[in-house]
Structure 1
Amino acid sequence: MVSRLTRAAVSALLTTSLVALPLADATACTSVLLPAKDGGFVYGRTLEFGLQLQSQLIVVPRGIALTGTGPEGNIGQGGLAWTSKYAATGTNALGLPMILDGVNERGLSGGLFNFPGYADFQTVPPGKGNQSIASFEILTWILTSFATVDEIKAALPGIYVSAVKVKSFGDMVPPIHVSVHDAAGKSLVIEYTDGGKLNMYDNPAHVLTNAPDFPFHLKNLSQYQYVTPNVLPPLKVGTTSLSAASSGDGMNGLPGGFIAPARFVRAFFAQANAPQLATSAETVGLAFHIMNAFDLPPGSIGTSASAGGEGGGVSGYETTEWIAATDMKNLRYYVRTYENPAIQVVDLKKAVQNLKEIKFIPFDSKPAVRDLTP
Structure 2
Amino acid sequence: MTKRTIRRILTTFTAAAIAAAPVAANACTSFVLAAKDGSYVYGRTMEFSLPMRSELMVIPRGYAITGTGPDGTAGAGLAWKSKYGAAGANALGLKILVDGMNEKGLAGGMLYLPNIAEFQDVAPDEAKNSIASVELLTWILTNFATVDEVRENLPKIKVNKAPQETFKMPVPVHVTLHDMNGKSLVIEYVGGKLNMYDNPVGTLTNAPEFPWHLANLGQYGNLSTNEPPVREIGGVSFAEPSTGAGMHGIPGDFLSPSRFIRATLFADSLPPLDTGLDAMDAARHILNNFDIPPGAIRTAAGSNVGGGVAGWETTEWSVVADMKKGVYAIWDYKNPNPRALIFSELNFDAKDIKLMSLQVKPDFVNLSK
CA drift at 1:36: 0.6
Quote the residue 1:142 is aligned against: 140
CA drift at 1:14: 4.1
Gaps of 5+ in 1: none
CA drift at 1:231: 1.3
What's the CA shift string for 1:145-201, capped at 9, x where partnerless?
Answer: 1111111111111111012212223x232110110011111111111112x111111
- Count of aligned residue pairs for this structure pair: 369
What's the CA shift string for 1:64-108, capped at 9, x where partnerless?
Answer: 221111112123x01111121111110000111111001111111
Match of 1:109 among 107, 110, 121: 107
Quote the residue 1:31 is aligned against: 30
CA drift at 1:326: 0.6
CA drift at 1:230: 0.8
Separation in 2 of the partners of 1:4 and 1:233? Answer: 22
Judging changes above 3 Å, is the alpha-carbon distance between structure 1 residues 108 and 247 closer, same or farther for their aligned structure 2 residues? same
Quote the residue 2:176 is aligned against: 179
Do residues 55 (structure 1) and 54 (structure 2) align? yes
Quote the residue 2:329 is aligned against: 334
What's the CA shift string for 1:264-298, capped at 9, x where partnerless?
Answer: 00110110011232111232121111100000011
Separation in 2 of the partners of 1:4 and 1:78? Answer: 49
Quote the residue 2:128 is aligned against: 130
1:2 and 1:273 in contact (8 A); partners too: no
Q: TM-score, normalised by structure 1?
A: 0.95
Quote the residue 2:278 is aligned against: 282
Separation in 1 of the partners of 2:348 and 2:60? Answer: 8
Quote the residue 1:10 is aligned against: 10
CA drift at 1:261: 0.2
Judging changes above 3 Å, is the alpha-carbon distance between structure 1 residues 16 and 58 closer, same or farther for their aligned structure 2 residues? farther
SS at match of 2:11: helix
Do residues 220 (structure 1) and 194 (structure 2) align? no
SS at match of 2:266: helix
Do residues 93 (structure 1) and 91 (structure 2) align? yes
Quote the residue 2:345 is aligned against: 350
Quote the residue 2:193 is aligned against: 197
Separation in 1 of the partners of 2:178 and 2:42? Answer: 8
SS at match of 1:220: helix
Quote the residue 1:323 is aligned against: 318
Separation in 1 of the partners of 2:293 and 2:330? Answer: 18
CA drift at 1:63: 1.6
Separation in 2 of the partners of 1:137 and 1:13? Answer: 32
SS at match of 1:307: coil
Separation in 1 of the partners of 2:127 and 2:16? Answer: 34
Quote the residue 1:208 is aligned against: 204
Identity of aligned residues (%): 48
| Root mean square deviation of aligned Cα | 1.5
Match of 1:188 among 161, 185, 188: 185
Gaps of 5+ in 2: none
Q: TM-score, normalised by structure 2?
A: 0.96
Quote the residue 1:366 is aligned against: 361
